[in-house]
Amino acid sequence: MKVRWDQKYLYIESNGLPAHGMMTGITSWQQQVPLPQAYSGDNAWRLPLTPVPATQPRPVKNAFLRGAIAIAANGIPIFNPQNNRGELSAMIGELDQWGGHCGRGDDYHYHAAPLHLQATLGPTKPIGYALDGYPIYGLTEPDGSAPGGLDPFNGHTTPQLGYHYHASRTYPYVNGGFHGEVVEREGQVDPQPRARSVRPALPPLGGAKITGFTASPDQKSFRLQYTIGGKPAAVNYATASDGAWKFQFISTDGSTREETYRGGDPGNRPPGPDRALPPADKPAAPEPAAISKPLAGFQLTSAEIKADGLLPIDYTGDGAGATLPLAWSGAPAGTKSYALIMHHIDPEGVAKWYWTLYDIPASVTTLPKNTRDIGKTGTGFKGNVGYEPPHSKGPGPKTYTLTLYALSGPAKVTVPPAAVNRAVLLAAIRDSVLATAELKVTYSSKETDRPSADRPPGDGPRPPRGDGPPRDR
């Protein structure tokens, strides 16, 4: 890590890889691995040397869900304790024993206070700085006493230090907001560095638990070990002299697959924010194209969906999380079975899916509320079998599409339901779709759609977008 400064800012440069271990202990893994990041030059982290108290302090709860909110003393970014779906990463198995994981850009970062740094720094030095410029100290004051009178952001003012934040072992873990001035743009502090990945984002790996991670002393070769159902697997990767990255994927059955990635490879997608993609048994291909074959008279409806198209709260994660009752008619001749997918396209253009159902008999034309015994149920985008009710995180209504597929035969699914995601199901039915019928519904969480004075419209200039900021999801 290197630092430099001018009259206004302190600039922090690093390769984004900490000196400690990484990834071990993660049980909800989206197949990211730590890769060096070029946080240097114009792409360095920036902190104001003289923080300015904000007229309206800004909480980070359900805001600033993309990118970093702080930078640790070792040069590793600290993201919001929530991922971009609004879930606490520390509570759902996404974090390693150091409080970190990798985003979709293969960028390592924390989502919880890096309290392990206290052992090196001692209580008299901050373990990090929020991006508004105010320091973040550990669990105690420099003299070892417990901090008192903390505000909702985990901060307070003392004669010795002025305003500063404190880390905690529970929410908000780090700074729960910004006491100082920051610019928010598209859900993140702006500007901040870009993360750059050489490879496409891969789907989550359902059932995987990361058991080990090693790096060579020069941080040019790495090995990540994991298990699925107790069976070991691994990812080995290293950089070559020409700058390419060579990956070897070792599956639980002992088979291997090798890939070579370069920054300029066509088809590589820029990293996206903590987005969850289809679970898979092995590293998977990028998201498949949707299937659309509308047929006049083939209709999908629900008695619960009125003319306004609003999805009642009972069918969402804010309510009971029940499956929506459905009915259909007008299927084409030759229909032998049906399949159903409920999905949403996020602002990045990536599909998240909430319900995958297949092998619905051709004689069935309705699904009751909370259906259990009709057809076979695959996974939601988090990798769990069953209906995953939407939560509609972020401001504004979200549109969810239920697509019914009339098939000329059974779905050619050759894996167990725990491995059936949207991509797997689309691939299994692609050659047998006779017609499709859609039902679009909208939902807006009351909590996240509430107007807020701490979320003004765009303010301040933006840096060039490049490959985007270091982002999760």
pLDDT digits (tens, 9 = 90+) for 275-321: 333 333 333 344 566 789 999 999 999 999 999 999 999 999 888 99
**Which segments of the chain belong to CATH 3.90.280.10?**
299-443
Residues 6+ apart with CB under 8 A from 439: 300, 301, 302, 305, 326, 401, 402, 404
Q: What are phi and psi of 89, to 5 degrees?
A: -60, -35
> In the predicted model, is pLDDT for residue 274 greater than 70?
no
- Which residue type sits at 239? T
Task: Please give the Cα distance from 236 to 216 (Å, whole number).
Answer: 12
Q: Express each pLDDT in 404-433 by its tens digit.
A: 999 999 999 988 888 898 988 998 999 999
Element (H, E) at 121: helix 118-121
Q: Residue with structure tokens 């404190």?
A: 166
pLDDT confidence of residue 289: 67
Share of the chain above pLDDT 70, in %: 87
Neighbouring C-beta atoms of residue 296, cutoff 10 Å? 7
* pLDDT digit string, tens, across residues 332-352: 999 999 999 999 987 656 778
Q: For residue 202, what pLDDT is reported? A: 76
Q: What is the pLDDT of residue 160?
A: 93
Average pLDDT of span 196-206: 81
Average pLDDT, the chain: 86
pLDDT of residue 284: 39
Q: How many residues are given for the chain?
A: 473
Strands 162-166 and 135-137: parallel
* pLDDT category of residue 135 using cuts at 50, 70 and 90: very high
Q: Fold for domain 299-443?
A: Phosphatidylethanolamine-binding Protein (3.90.280)
The pLDDT value recorded for residue 187 is: 85
In this predicted structure, what is the pLDDT of residue 460? 35
Output the 3-class SS for 172-193. CCCCCEEEECCCEECCEECCCC
Q: By percentage, how much of the chain surpasses pLDDT 90?
A: 68
Helix (H, G, I), strand (E, B) or coil at 239: strand
pLDDT at 451 over 70: no
List 223's β-bridge partners, or say none. Answer: 214, 236
- Write the pLDDT tens digit of every residue in 81-104: 998 778 899 999 999 999 999 998
Q: Does 368 score more than 50 pLDDT?
A: yes
Structure tokens that stand for 449 in this block = 């759609």
Q: Which helix (H) or strand (E) holds 426?
A: helix 422-429
Mean pLDDT of all residues in 102-112: 93
Please give the biggest Cα pair distance in the chain. 80
> Which pLDDT belongs to residue 469?
45
